[in-house]
Amino acid sequence: MLDRAAWIKAAIDLLADGNLDGLRVEVLAKRLGVTKGSFYWHFKDRRDLLDAVLDDWKEGRIRDIRKQTAADPGEELGAIRHTIAIYSAARNRRGIAIERAFRVWARQDPRAAAVVEEVDAVRLDCARRLFLARGLPAGEAAARSILLYAYVFGVALMHCDGFDADLNAARNRITELIAE
Q: Return residues touching DNA (CB under 7 A).
A: 1-3, 24-27, 29, 33-38, 40-42, 44-47
CA nearest neighbour of 112 among 100, 123, 124, 122: 100
The least distance separating a second copy from the CB of residue 138, rounded to whole angstroms, comes to 9
Using CB under 8 A, list all residues that contact a second copy: 18-19, 21-22, 97, 100, 103-104, 106-108, 113, 116-117, 120-121, 124-125, 139-140, 142-147, 149-155, 157-164, 166, 169-171, 173-174, 177-178
Query: In the complex with DNA, which residue's Cβ is closer, 40 or 153?
Result: 40
d(CA 167, CA 174): 10
Q: How far is CA 132 from the centre of its chain?
A: 23
Choose the one of a second copy, DNA, none that binds residue 29, judging by a C-beta under 5 to 8 angstroms depending on kind.
DNA
The least distance separating DNA from the CB of residue 133, rounded to whole angstroms, comes to 46
Enumerate the H helices of the chain as residue ranges: 4-16, 25-31, 36-42, 46-68, 76-86, 93-106, 110-133, 138-155, 167-179
Question: If you count them, how many residues does the chain have?
Answer: 180
Longest CA span, the chain: 57
Choose the one of DNA, a second copy, none that binds residue 89, judging by a C-beta under 5 to 8 angstroms depending on kind.
none
